[in-house]
Structure 1
Amino acid sequence: MNSPQSFTGENGASASRTVIVASTDVALRARLRANLMNLRWQVREASGGAEAVALLDEAPAEALMLDSWLPDLDIVELVCHIRSSHPAIDLLRIDGTSENEGVRSPRRNELLHALREAQDALPATDTAVWAAAALSIPRGSVQHSSVRVFPASAQDRIRMPSSEGRPAEGTLPELVGQSEAMLELTRLIRMVAPRSTSVLIEGETGTGKEIVARALHRLSVRSQKPFVVLNCAAIPEALLEAELFGHTRGAFTGAVASRTGRIEAAHGGTLFLDEIGEMPLALQAKMLRFLECGELQRVGDNETLRVDVRVVAATHQPLEQRATEKTFRLDLYHRLAVFPIEVPALRERREDVEMLAEHFLEQMGKESPRKRLSEEGLARLQMYSWPGNVRELMHVLERGVILAQERQEIRVADLRFGRVTSAA
C-alpha cells in the first residue's frame, strides 16, 4: 500500500513527527516519551481511548501507539473508529497484533526503535508481551486478532477480566442486558461518548435514561469533571431560570446571596437536563442561545460568562411532534438532538428480564438475605408487559423480597404489580 507523501489533518495542519501514545501504563508512556523525543518526535499522551480520540480530533498526528487494553473503550471498536475518522494515521499496536493493511509512516522504523528500547527497560516477565507490530484493520470490517498466551504477570498488568461473571463483549457495566437492542445502545454510546456532541436520550419513563447519560459522561474526556443533573420537571417554572443560569444577590425576592447555576457548576464536564420537554418556552430561547455560543448571563447580572459544557438531555415526550405543534422550539430540538439515542422499553427486550432480575436481587441481597426467583415467578415476570419498564421491575422485586419474608424463594404470589393484589 502506498504511503502518503505527507501527513496532514482535515484542516491542512501538518501532523509530521507528532505521535500519540495511548496507554494506562505511566512507566511505559514515560519511556516511550523519552525515546521518541530523543528522535525529535512531538509526543502527546492519553490514558484512555476517549482521550486519544479527543487528541486526534484537536490536532492531527502522524502516528498513534496503542496499548492492548484501555479502561473505557473496546480496542477493536476504537481501531475501527480511528480507521474511519482518521484514515491517514499510522496506527501501531504494542501487544504483538499485526495486519497487513493501513497507512505506514515513512519514519515507522524510528517508532519501532523507540518501542523496542522501551520494551528492553521492562521487567523480563513483561517483555515477551510487548513485541512491536503495526495493527491495521480494514476499513468497514472488524477482525479479531489471533489468540495469544500471556504470562500471568502480564495478564495482571493489563487487567484481563475472568470469564466468570464477566459482561458480554461490547456491553457496559451500567447497562444490564445482552439483547440486540442493548448491544446496539452500547455501540451508540461508545461511538458518541468521546466527543462533545449534544445528545438527546429518548425513551419511556423508567427505561434508565439517566444511566445512559452517566455512561456517556464516564466514557468521555470530561469524566474527571462534574456531572451535573437538573430535572426540569422538578423545579417550579419561576425558579428554573435561576437554577440553570445562576443569579446575583437581590435579583429577585428571596435572592439574599449570589448563586452559581447548574450550567456554570458543570464547567468542563457534562450537564444532564432530564425531562427537557418540561422546560418553559421562554427559557428554551435562552437555553438555545447558550448552546449556540457557550455564553450565559446570571439572572440580574449584565456580565457575560463563557462556559464549556457538554449538554445531554432526556425526555419521554415526542419532542419532534411537539415542535410541529409549537409547544417546543424546533430549533432547540435540532440543537439538542445532534445525536439522538433511543433507550428501548423493557417489553422490547424481554430476554433481558432474567438478567435484570438477578442483578436487582443481587443488589438487594447486600442488605438482607439473598432471595431467588422460582421458575414460575420468572415466567410470570417474562410474560408481563412492564409499562413502568426497568424501574417497575425493580419495585416488583423489592415487594417480592419483602412479601417472601423468611423464605429464600420468591413465588408467583409474592409478585405484586402496581395496586393489584395478586399475580393474575
Structure 2
Amino acid sequence: MPAHILIVDDDGSHRTVLRTIIEDWGYEVSEAPDGETAVAMTQERPYDSVLMDIRMGGMDGITAQKQIAKHNPSIPVLIMTAYSSINTAVLALKQGAYDYLIKPLDFDVLKLTIERMLDHTRLAEENRSLKENNSVKNQFGMVGSSERMHELVETVTTVAPTHAPVLITGESGTGKELVAKAVYQASERSNKPFVTINCAALSESLLESELFGHEKGAFTGADKRRDGLFWQANGGTIFMDEVGEIPLSLQAKLLRVLQQGELQRVGSDAILHVDIRVIAATNRDLQEEVANKTFREDLFYRLNVIGLEVPSLRERQADIPLLAEHFMNMYAAKYGKNIVGFSPQAMDALVNCPWPGNIRELENTMERAVIMATTEYITDRELPANLRKAFLEQTGTNAGSVELPLGDVSLESLEKRAVQAALKKHKKKVDAANALGITRATLHSKIKKYGLEESKRK
C-alpha cells in the first residue's frame, strides 16, 4: 500500500503541480487548501507525512504544524517556505517540523526528503509492531527485537542450565553484565550467590586478596582473616568483568580454580575446595592478547568454553527505538515527568547516531533528555548538540535544510548557505535572485556581505 501524503497550500495551481509529481512517484495524495482543513484531516486519519506551505490565508502553516504535532507528533511535517521566511521556517523546526525546503522547490531534493521522511514513518511503524509482537524483553531484562538480540537470548537460554564457564565479549557499554545476569537467572544456580568483581578496578595485590582472601598477618594491614569472593560465591556464580586485565601472575591461580576447583588464601598453605560457575567478560581481543603473551592460552580456552558476543548498538539499530522508549519511561518515572514519546526529528537523530558508547551512552542521553524536556514529547532540542551535529553530518543536508544543530542555528548562517546554494545552482545572478525571491541588488548586497564573490574567484 503506497504512503499517503497530505499537501497543504492555498495556491490551487501549486497543489495540482505537486500532486501530479508526487503521484507519479507512486504515492497516494490528498489536498487541503488551508491550515484549519489540514488539522481536521490529520485528526481523522494518520497520514504518513504532510507537505505544507507556511504562508496561507486563515491558519498559517506554523500554527497548523503546531496543532498537528500536538495531536499526533509522529506525523512528519515538511515545510515549504520562501527565502524571505527562513526565520519562520526555523521556528517551525524548533517546534517539531521535520524539515523545510525553499521555494521554488527543487523536485529532486523534494523527492529525496520525502523518502527520508517516510523512512522515519516506516521505522516508527515497525517499532510499534515489533514492540507489540516480537520484543525479547523478558525475565532477563534485555530489551530488543532485532535478529541479533533474538539469537543472543536463544543462546543464553540454551547454555544457562549447564555449569560450563562463559566468556562474554563486546564493546564497552553494550550490556555484558546484563547478559551475565541473564545466564545466572536462567541457570540452576539462580537461588545461589551471584558475586561480581571488576578486575580492572583493583591493583594486583588487592585483586589477589579480593578474589582468594587472606590470612591474618599475610601483609601489612591484614589484621584479621578475610574470605575472598570465590569462597563467598561457593555454590553459586561469580562474574569477573574486564577479565583481560588480570595480571599474568594471578592467571595461573584463576586457572586452578576453573580446572580443579581449588584455591588458597594469601598467606595460607591450606587448600580450599569450591564449586563455582565463572562468567567472565571483556572488551579486549583475548586471542590477540594470547598471541602477545599477555594472556595465558590455557586460561583463555578454559574461560571460553561457551562464548557469547554482545552486539554493539550500531549492529542492532532496529532496537534503538525500543531502548530509547524503555529509558524514557524509566527516567520519566524517576523524575516525575509526564513524557509520552518522541518528535520525528528526535527519533531520527537517535536511530542514526553511531553510539560509540553503546547502550550506556544511549541511557545517559535519555536521562538528560527527560530532565531537559518541557513538554510531553522529547524533541531534538533536548538531545546533546554533538549528537545532533553527528546526525546531520551522517545523513547529509539539502539546500533547504538547516545544517547546524538547532540549538546553534543563526539566521545569518542559514542566509549565507541559501545564497551559496542559489549561486551554485544558477550560473546567472538574475536567476539566483529570482530563485531566492529577492532583487538582484539585494543579492549583490548579500554576496558582498558574506564575501561570496571573493570565495568564488578562489
Identify the TM-score tier after normalising by the shorter chain.
0.5 to 0.7
Q: Which residue of 1 aligns with 2:345?
A: 376
Code of the residue aligned with 1:376 in structure 2: it is: Q
Shift, 1:238, TM fit: 1.8
Does residue 307 (structure 1) correspond to residue 274 (structure 2)? The answer is: yes
Q: Which residue of 2 aligns with 1:391?
A: 360
1:239-388 map, 5 Å = 239-367=206-334, 368-371=336-339, 372-388=341-357
> What is the alpha-carbon distance in structure 2 between the residues aligned to residue 188 and residue 303 of structure 1?
39
CA contact (8 A) 1:198 1:312 kept: yes
> What is the alpha-carbon distance in structure 2 between the residues aligned to residue 402 and residue 254 of structure 1?
45
Shift, 1:172, TM fit: 3.3
Could you say what secondary structure the match of 1:273 adopts?
strand
Shift, 1:175, TM fit: 1.0
CA contact (8 A) 1:170 1:187 kept: no
Code of the residue aligned with 1:288 in structure 2: it is: L
Shift, 1:167, TM fit: 7.2
Q: Which residue of 2 aligns with 1:199?
A: 166
**1:193/1:281 CA distance change after superposition, 3 Å:** same
Code of the residue aligned with 1:225 in structure 2: it is: K
**1:316/1:167 CA distance change after superposition, 3 Å:** farther
Q: Which residue of 2 aligns with 1:412?
A: 380
Shift, 1:164, TM fit: 12
Code of the residue aligned with 2:138 in structure 1: it is: L
> What is the alpha-carbon distance in structure 2 between the residues aligned to residue 422 and residue 317 of structure 1?
27
Code of the residue aligned with 1:370 in structure 2: it is: N
Which is richer in helix?
A: 2
Could you say what secondary structure the match of 2:227 adopts?
coil
Deviations 1:384-405 (A, max 9, x none): 001000110001111111222x
> What is the alpha-carbon distance in structure 2 between the residues aligned to residue 293 and residue 419 of structure 1?
50
> What is the alpha-carbon distance in structure 2 between the residues aligned to residue 200 and residue 348 of structure 1?
20
Deviations 1:127-156 (A, max 9, x none): xxxxxxxxxxxxxxxxxxxxxxxxxxxxxx
Code of the residue aligned with 1:172 in structure 2: it is: N
Code of the residue aligned with 1:415 in structure 2: it is: L
> What is the alpha-carbon distance in structure 2 between the residues aligned to residue 353 and residue 182 of structure 1?
12
Code of the residue aligned with 1:394 in structure 2: it is: E
Deviations 1:86-144 (A, max 9, x none): xxxxxxxxxxxxxxxxxxxxxxxxxxxxxxxxxxxxxxxxxxxxxxxxxxxxxxxxxxx
> What is the alpha-carbon distance in structure 2 between the residues aligned to residue 420 and residue 183 of structure 1?
30
Could you say what secondary structure the match of 1:365 adopts?
helix
CA contact (8 A) 1:362 1:370 kept: no
> What is the alpha-carbon distance in structure 1 between the residues aligned to residue 315 and residue 390 of structure 2?
24
> What is the alpha-carbon distance in structure 1 between the residues aligned to residue 386 and residue 186 of structure 2?
36
Q: Which residue of 2 aligns with 1:93?
A: none
> What is the alpha-carbon distance in structure 2 between the residues aligned to residue 398 and residue 170 of structure 1?
23
Q: Which residue of 2 aligns with 1:121?
A: none
Deviations 1:312-343 (A, max 9, x none): 00000000111011011111100000000000
**1:369/1:340 CA distance change after superposition, 3 Å:** same
Which one has the largest radius of gyration?
2
CA contact (8 A) 1:171 1:186 kept: no
Code of the residue aligned with 1:408 in structure 2: it is: E
Shift, 1:417, TM fit: 6.1
1:58-97 map, 5 Å = none
Gaps of 5+ in 2: 1-128, 392-404, 406-458
1:189 to 156, 168, 174: 156
CA contact (8 A) 2:264 2:270 kept: yes
Q: Which residue of 2 aligns with 1:401?
A: 370
> What is the alpha-carbon distance in structure 1 between the residues aligned to residue 289 and residue 327 of structure 2?
35
CA contact (8 A) 1:199 1:339 kept: yes
Shift, 1:422, TM fit: 9.0
Q: Which residue of 2 aligns with 1:178?
A: 145
Residue identity (%):
48
Shift, 1:409, TM fit: 1.7
Aligned residues: 261
**1:417/1:387 CA distance change after superposition, 3 Å:** farther
Q: Which has the higher contact order (CA 8 A, sep 6+)?
A: 2
CA contact (8 A) 1:226 1:268 kept: yes
Shift, 1:271, TM fit: 0.4
CA contact (8 A) 1:227 1:271 kept: yes
**1:417/1:251 CA distance change after superposition, 3 Å:** farther
> What is the alpha-carbon distance in structure 2 between the residues aligned to residue 318 and residue 210 of structure 1?
18
CA contact (8 A) 2:131 2:145 kept: no
Gaps of 5+ in 1: 1-162
CA contact (8 A) 2:130 2:145 kept: no
**1:177/1:223 CA distance change after superposition, 3 Å:** same
> What is the alpha-carbon distance in structure 2 between the residues aligned to residue 417 and residue 269 of structure 1?
45
CA contact (8 A) 1:229 1:271 kept: yes
**1:302/1:219 CA distance change after superposition, 3 Å:** same
